Structure 1
């Protein structure tokens, strides 16, 4: 597929929305039209074009509400929330851009307007966590809204928000008969944008707080709670599962045993020995300086590392980012994961490279599912064919809760 946006990084941000088409996100033609509106424009033009598209959907949704057409209004409001969610990715970085914060707040407002028109209605929850409240929504199973059902807790990665989780996973979970919980943890969405809280490696503390609330939810079967992490959540979820015995199943899409592994490989390309790269906290400053120059010259790396990773981790230098990344590992805890575990491996997903080795090291009941480019699912988190990922994931989870895995 050719580029819909002339800037490659803009195209990467926008193409994430393709995965949301089956669950009510903007259609292909609308995304392409936004790309035409941006043209050769910069990040500000990208943001403005997405805001304009969201405004059109919101205006039409409000007209549908006034005309007594709640189904149309719901679809338009939710679609607008996905468009707003994509609008501010080029604006990432500390300090928080006021345009990002304004779009985020509007995104949540309009998402909740769509939820209010839904049947069943997702419920907003408050998850207490170390003096703050993590924003969360309980999304009921479509055909079993008032029944006690299994729960899937979805946890995000670096730059996803609750809106991403809703479209990428929660809609599919609801259709398959699962209740789900979507939330923003430290370093994610509202917890980062509103509170400036950085990501933390001990994700078991975050998931522990979520499970504390959800085991007492009247519609949740506390013996059938699954945790699903995508992208960087493929590290966060396994780390939590290694320490949280109340989880009945784990899905890692993909499994990321260590954040530092990729950094080590990059450092070695710049001349660091394997021994020198074994502890990134003491990496040669000359190697770091060379890496900084390369990152600054590459718009994609500059956004992913200097803008996104620095902000998310609460650091201001490459040396500090390297140092903090050492704590993000589950390699020494793989044997502590006891629940049935599913690992996905997409053919062209660089983050999935460590999945097969982690699979071999696990001692719990385990399954590995590969996704190929032939299926249109070879990219990161199978975003080119998210429907296939969800179908296989929930087939596996059905089997787990039916006692067929273990």
Structure 2
């Protein structure tokens, strides 16, 4: 299970390897990239360069005969995966200013894949404040039949290709529609439009439900909502206030993303902005190891555009208080009991980021509920089961199929 000694590189590579079951990676391509990076000496620079080059190469046709649309389709999907792998570590590389360009390359590959799906994904922009939400709507066919539909919610650093791996094919195979979207702090809204996360995620999901219920091929009584990674906080928050959600899945349950940071980081935050930032800049930053600084740049950028722009210049953010306060505001401890939809809470053996939180969410729920823990014995350990997304989808969609009945 160890592709890299560094746990962050290892987790990223395991995610890519696991995605091969959904056509969103190729085992040989991933392992060859891993060997290349290890041979050159693992670093953000070598990781980014290797996966970026692999993604770029897949946008060209393979050796032999001209590529047909199916070949172009899946090469584009894999290119989106490898660009996403590079994007995750680009702020720690020697070219952090290429972040938006790298995002756009992956997005172009994703859009090309969506256009080549059969049928093509419906692309639209759903009203949300002053910045519309880009959505990609997948259907099993164009018959127009009313179907159950799942809204797939990403986390704080995933890309659309992850929503393919963790839901779209499983939905389509069961005769469901699937909606993928970028919310504030994600994808286009973060890297291009520069909109950070909001704690009121119901204001994000409600326009999506409005858009879906206006379609004749959606059963308005069978709309489910899932949340992957930090989406396991966002989706439950939305379901607590959006009554049209028929079923909810938290993958994993996360009641407070701020608790996913080490205590030494959380203790920096005080009610006083000036004092907090003085502690950060004078006491913490000078002693911060480079690798820790790199991690914090990545984890704080979805909560602060100045922090993102400073990171793109190779600098560490100076305002700790603003993004930390936004993270703290994501707590849904008091909101979970409001959820009325039947809810499945997933947990993972060896959960790195939110240990104990899935059980906390499950215990706080007052709606019909189920709890499933995926384990090392199943090869499904670690946050979001990176090596077992197929098993993950089987658990989630069998539960949804059984829960969202009718029609």
Report the TM range for the smaller structure's normalisation.
0.7 to 0.9
Q: Report SS of the residue matched to 1:225.
A: strand
- Hey, what does 1:111 align to over in structure 2? 110
CA distance in 2, matches of 1:260, 1:308: 11
The 5-angstrom pairing of residues 3-402 of structure 1 reads: 3=3, 5=4, 8-38=7-37, 39-40=40-41, 42-60=43-61, 66=66, 69-92=68-91, 97-141=96-140, 146-263=144-261, 266-267=263-264, 280-281=270-271, 292=284, 296-297=288-289, 299=291, 301-314=292-305, 316=317, 317-350=319-352, 351-402=354-405
The verdict on how the C-alpha distance between 1:199 and 1:13 changes in structure 2, with shifts beyond 3 A counting, is: same
Deviations along 1:309-353, one digit per CA (max 9) or x if unpaired, are: 244344543333332222111111122100100100111114141
Q: CA deviation at 1:281?
A: 3.1
Q: Report SS of the residue matched to 1:227.
A: strand
1:26–1:79 CA contact under 8 A, matched in 2 = yes
User: Structure 1 stretches (4+) deviating beyond 6 angstroms?
Assistant: none
2:24–2:161 CA contact under 8 A, matched in 1 = no
The alignment's C-alpha RMSD in Å is 2.8
Q: Report SS of the residue matched to 2:379.
A: coil
**Which stretch shifts more, 213-222 or 43-52?**
43-52
CA distance in 1, matches of 2:227, 2:170: 15
Larger relative contact order (C-alpha < 8 A, sep ≥ 6)? 2
The verdict on how the C-alpha distance between 1:260 and 1:84 changes in structure 2, with shifts beyond 3 A counting, is: closer
- Hey, what does 1:2 align to over in structure 2? 2
- Hey, what does 2:313 align to over in structure 1? none
Deviations along 1:358-399, one digit per CA (max 9) or x if unpaired, are: 212211111111111111111101112111111011111111
Q: CA deviation at 1:230?
A: 0.9
2:11–2:386 CA contact under 8 A, matched in 1 = no
Q: Report SS of the residue matched to 1:180.
A: strand
Deviations along 1:211-259, one digit per CA (max 9) or x if unpaired, are: 1211112211111111100111011011111110111111000111112
1:144–1:177 CA contact under 8 A, matched in 2 = no
Deviations along 1:175-200, one digit per CA (max 9) or x if unpaired, are: 22211100111111111010111111
CA distance in 1, matches of 2:244, 2:81: 32
CA distance in 2, matches of 1:367, 1:294: 46
Q: CA deviation at 1:104?
A: 1.9
The number of equivalent residue pairs is 388
Unpaired segments ≥5 residues, structure 1: none
1:192–1:312 CA contact under 8 A, matched in 2 = no
Q: CA deviation at 1:51?
A: 2.4
Q: Report SS of the residue matched to 1:242.
A: helix
When normalised by structure 2's length, the TM-score is: 0.86
Q: Report SS of the residue matched to 1:245.
A: coil
1:280–1:323 CA contact under 8 A, matched in 2 = no
CA distance in 2, matches of 1:121, 1:218: 17
1:155–1:182 CA contact under 8 A, matched in 2 = yes
Unpaired segments ≥5 residues, structure 2: 308-316
1:186–1:192 CA contact under 8 A, matched in 2 = yes
CA distance in 2, matches of 1:14, 1:312: 25
2:110–2:160 CA contact under 8 A, matched in 1 = no
